[in-house]
């Protein structure tokens, strides 16, 4: 359903949105919220709630209600956190990935490939991943 990968410098994500059929190949799953890069994988309604929450400035008092959803938070200093199904975010090591293509992407990055190549690898092997790949680079000077 998704592959979002972070290699320590760049976040890359596929663009496929699907349920029983492919609904979009250009769905935007990664975006900026101030200095953060946020990536969302999972339930489409939850993705849209996260997008609206980010658009409202990520108010602490009103976090989005999500289910079947992973949220990746990448800070400009390359620290990365993941929240699963609305749980508090936990810090992970880089490289990391979320979504159904996660294991393919992690294997590619473990072999030294970047996030873009890792998502391409996941798209090749995971039938739930596909579409346009988007990338965002962290702003390490922030």
- The CATH number for 85's domain is 3.60.20.10
Residue 142 lies in a domain: no
Residue 28 lies in a domain: yes
Place 9 in a pLDDT band, splitting at 50, 70 and 90: very high
**Residues 14-43: tens digit of each pLDDT:** 998 877 666 778 888 999 988 899 999 988
Q: What is the pLDDT of residue 63?
A: 74
Residue 99 lies in a domain: yes
- Residue 99: give the domain boundaries: 4-137
Q: What is the pLDDT of residue 22?
A: 67
Looking at the 3D structure of the chain, how many domains does it have? 1
Q: What is the pLDDT of residue 140?
A: 59
Residue 60 lies in a domain: yes
Q: 121-124: long-range contacts (C-beta < 8 A, 24 or more apart)?
A: 122/3, 122/5, 122/14, 122/97, 123/3, 123/14
Q: What is the pLDDT of residue 142?
A: 44
Residue 61 lies in a domain: yes
């Amino acid at each position: 359903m998704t592959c979002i990968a972070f290699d320590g410098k760049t976040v890359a994500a596929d663009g496929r949105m699907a349920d029983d059929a492919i609904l979009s190949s250009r769905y935007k799953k990664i975006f900026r919220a101030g200095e953060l890069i946020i990536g969302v994988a999972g339930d489409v309604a939850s993705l849209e709630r996260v997008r609206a929450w980010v658009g409202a400035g990520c108010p602490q008092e009103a976090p989005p209600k999500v289910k079947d959803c992973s949220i990746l938070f990448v800070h400009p200093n390359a620290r990365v956190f993941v929240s699963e199904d609305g749980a508090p975010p936990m810090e992970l090591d880089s490289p990391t990935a979320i979504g159904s293509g996660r294991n393919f992407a992690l294997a590619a990055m473990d072999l030294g490939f970047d996030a873009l190549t890792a998502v391409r690898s996941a798209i090749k092997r995971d039938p739930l991943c596909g579409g346009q790949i988007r990338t965002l680079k962290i702003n390490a000077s922030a």
